[in-house]
Amino acid sequence: MSLAMGLIRRLRGDQIRNVEIRKRTIVTDIAQRVAKRKWQCAGNIVQRKDGRCGPKGLEWQIRTGKRSVGRPPTRWKDDIKRVAGSRWMQAAHNRGIWNSLQKSYAQQWTCIG
């Protein structure tokens, strides 16, 4: 990717943005790809019906004696709940709804960081 950016910037100057270079070189954004895979993985875990502990693992919270100092880490569940709503597990069972929400999740996830 950096080679492509360097070549295009030499030809056209320094005013070309990375988004434009990705469009021209047909390179997928790694952050969007990670977000898409994360969304698919969460959907597959919820849709399991073979009795494995996947969906229960998403609900489970660790109970320890002491809470750590600082902001709690963001969980996958919280990240997905922001896009799909509080009833995201029911939405995951409907593949049509789940797949339609995937693109908006990937866009939000890459903008937030």
pLDDT at residue 45, rounded to an integer: 86
How many Å apart are CA 24 and CA 76, to the nearest integer? 33
- Higher model confidence: residue 102 or residue 52? 102
pLDDT digits (tens, 9 = 90+) for 20-65: 777 777 777 788 888 889 888 888 888 888 777 777 777 777 677 7
pLDDT band at 2 (very low <50, low <70, confident <90, very high): low
- Predicted TM-score of the model (pTM): 0.64
Q: Are 107 and 33 in contact (CB under 8 A)?
A: no
**Residue 69 CB neighbours (<10 A):** 5
Q: What percent of the chain has pLDDT over 90?
A: 0
Residue recorded with tokens 């660790």? 62
